[in-house]
Amino acid sequence: MSAAPSVRFIVLVLAVAAGASVGNLYLLQPLLPEVARTFSTSPRAVGVVSMLTQVGYGAGMFLFVPLGDVLERRRLMLALLGAVAVALVAVAASPTLPVLAGASLAVGMTTVVPQLALPLAAHVAPPEERGRAVGAVMGGLLVGILLARTASGFLGAHLGWRAVYVVAAALMVALAAALRALLPRSEPDASMPYPELLRSMLDIAREEPVLREAAALGALGFAAFSVFWSTLAFQLEARHGLGPDVAGLFGVLGAAGALAAPVLGRLADRTRPRANAGISIVVALAGFAVFAASGSVPALVAGVLLLDVGVQGNHVSNLARVHGRRPEARSRMNTIYMVTYFAGGALGTAVGTWAWTARGWAGVCAAGAAFLAAALALWALGLRRDPAPARDGSRGNPARGD
């Protein structure tokens, strides 16, 4: 097999792995009203459970993803898939809300295979195709997110929310078997003790202004995204009398973001990804303007299209910038970016459920727009500064994301 098909095949496998595993983080969102009724609790309480899944994801990225720089990557992925299967079964069997919260935290901590797949794709791709490879894996990841929401809503409406997690656990076991058969071994580029590995991320964050800005822009965008998706099921039920199956169907609209990801990845190989990020933030902000104008179903559909394309465009552009730097530390760079990114998501989930409880749909729209306005202000402030020099001494190289 020639080198180019081999790279394409590896990227395809990684895209499927990212999409199949990332859905664990989003299974709960269409099911929130059902879970609240099961445990006789409030929307705010189950919103905290959803937030804990994202908090766990951030913790898992910090603790486990840096190991991709020092351990054989396929073996690490298989171990994590086994762990998340156990955590998903624990969610399905949860007898009380506190147990559910703890199990959801564990699901988030062990659902980090997508964040090992992204730097591995950037590692195997030649530099001139790195944005395309990252975009392809992101496209698979986004398809996984939209299918997870849709399947979760459908199964939850017909079989109950616990069955959703049993099915997800079985899928993780099947995915582990497939990766063991299809993914080649990938040896690390560095060797250092685990404590030193974690400490080195502080040095990387301090030395890389491009990474810091990209992480902040990504976090604010994902916060706005989470404000909307953590409250959509409540809006659909309260205003339109629609259940979790319809909330899940809204995930299908995320196909727009999934289709845009590879295209934006290719653009990042040819243009300045920072400019792409700014345009994407404006598109996402337009989505919240549509939500604020009307809470009708057609307005929700139009706004979701704008929001998904804008947030994912911002995300892919930021990833292209990050993975164009420090080849020997891509897993740690990815960790810093994604921990910040999902901290923003967790904040957005908490703010979204609070805004819904306090101010209803108007509060949700105001909160999401505020996060995006902050991102746009940060991006605009960056225009006043010269591009940061790359580690090879060049400046403003679009392929590196500067």
Which CATH number covers residue 136? 1.20.1250.20
pLDDT, residue 351, reads: 93
**Domain span at residue 200?**
3-400
Q: What gap in Å lies between CA 132 and CA 134, rounded to an integer?
A: 6
Of 79, 65, 61, 44, nearest in space to 331 by CA: 65
Residue 3 burial by Cβ neighbours in a 10 Å radius (0-12, 13-18, 19+): exposed
Strands (DSSP E) contained in 20-85 are none
Those residues whose C-beta lies under 8 Å from the C-beta of residue 334, and which sit 6 or more positions away, are 65, 115, 118, 119, 319, 322, 323
pLDDT, residue 255, reads: 61
Enumerate the H helices of 191-327 as residue ranges.
Answer: 194-207, 209-229, 232-240, 244-249, 255-270, 273-293, 297-322
Evaluate whether 56 touches 109 at the Cβ level (below 8 Å).
Answer: yes
pLDDT, residue 401, reads: 46
Chain center to CA of 24? 11
pLDDT averaged over consecutive 10-residue blocks of the chain (402 residues)? 62 90 88 87 83 86 87 92 96 93 94 88 77 80 80 87 94 93 78 87 91 95 92 83 73 64 59 82 94 86 89 85 78 87 87 91 95 95 58 40 48
Domain total of the chain: 1
Chain center to CA of 109? 13
pLDDT, residue 317, reads: 84
Those residues whose C-beta lies under 8 Å from the C-beta of residue 400, and which sit 6 or more positions away, are 321, 324, 325, 390, 394
pLDDT, residue 260, reads: 62
DSSP character at residue 71: S
What SS3 state is found at 389? strand
Tokens of 152: 């979760």
DSSP character at residue 394: -
How many CA atoms, within 13 angstroms, populate the side-chain half-sphere of residue 145?
22
